[in-house]
């Protein structure tokens, strides 16, 4: 049986994962308008992944006999200066999600809710992997640069990028 404060916090995390999915969908659509097919497919995949993260929490809440409340989502940013700025924005989002997961872990420990703490460890690891991937990609993009063939090379790199295997 989950405690009320944990049910509320997990519901907020459902909204956060769903918002991340929504943001990455908007980023993918922006990339399409720039003819950046590799970036678009990367962000469409990322958006699907965030939806899977959302579903995992929804299933956990349902399996624990708790109510899930689906919230309204805001309109995501649809304009980005360039592909590096887009990834910097995505990294900022990941850092905010990581901070939110950390707060959930703290709450689980405070509540002595060891089952939820164990459930959340998957997210702790996942956030670490995602932040690392985004940081590395931004670094490589800056090395390649956006001039000349740079943008084309960046898009090719994103098309081939293989995210870490999900261990869900």
Binding site residues, ligand OFO, CB under 6 A = 17, 20, 50, 53, 94, 97, 126-127, 130
HEC sequence for the chain:
CCCHHHHHHHHHHHHHHHHHHHHHHHHHHHHHHCCCHHHHHHHHHHHHHHHHHHHHHHHHHHHCCCCCCCCCCCCCCCCCCCHHHHHHHHHHHHHHHHHHHHHHHHHHHHCCCHHHHHHHHHHHHHHHHHHHHHHHHHHHHHHHCCCCCHHHHHHHHHHHCCCCCCCC
Based on CB atoms, which residue is closest to ligand OFO, 4 or 162? Answer: 162
Residue number, 80 or 144, with CB nearest to ligand OFO: 80
The CB-of-50 to ligand OFO minimum distance in angstroms stands at: 5
Q: Which residue's CB is nearer to ligand OFO, number 9 or number 144?
A: 9
Smallest separation (angstroms) from ligand OFO to the CB of 138: 15
Distance of closest approach, residue 108 Cβ to ligand OFO, in angstroms: 17
Query: Which CB atom, from 20 or from 138, has the smaller least distance to ligand OFO?
Result: 20
C-beta of 17 vs 155, nearer to ligand OFO: 17
Number of Cβ atoms within 10 Å of the Cβ of 19: 19
- Nearest partner of 17 among 128, 137, 123, 138, judged by Cα: 123
Shortest Cβ distance from residue 35 to ligand OFO (Å)?
Answer: 27
Shortest distance, CB of residue 93 to ligand OFO, whole angstroms? 6
């Amino acid at each position: 049986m989950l405690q009320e404060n944990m049910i509320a916090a997990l519901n907020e995390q459902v909204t956060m994962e769903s918002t991340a999915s929504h943001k990455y969908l908007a980023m993918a659509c922006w990339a399409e308008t720039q003819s950046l097919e590799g970036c678009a497919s990367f962000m469409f995949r990322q958006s699907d992944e965030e939806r899977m993260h959302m579903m995992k929490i929804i299933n956990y809440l349902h399996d624990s006999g708790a109510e899930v409340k689906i919230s309204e989502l805001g309109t995501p940013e649809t304009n980005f200066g360039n592909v590096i700025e887009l990834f910097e924005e995505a990294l900022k989002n990941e850092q905010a999600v990581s901070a939110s997961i950390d707060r959930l872990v703290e709450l689980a420990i405070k509540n002595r809710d060891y089952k939820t703490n164990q459930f959340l460890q998957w997210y702790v690891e996942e956030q670490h992997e995602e932040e690392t991937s985004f940081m590395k990609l931004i670094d490589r993009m800056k090395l390649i640069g956006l001039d000349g063939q740079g943008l084309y090379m960046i898009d090719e790199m994103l098309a081939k990028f293989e995210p870490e295997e999900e261990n869900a």
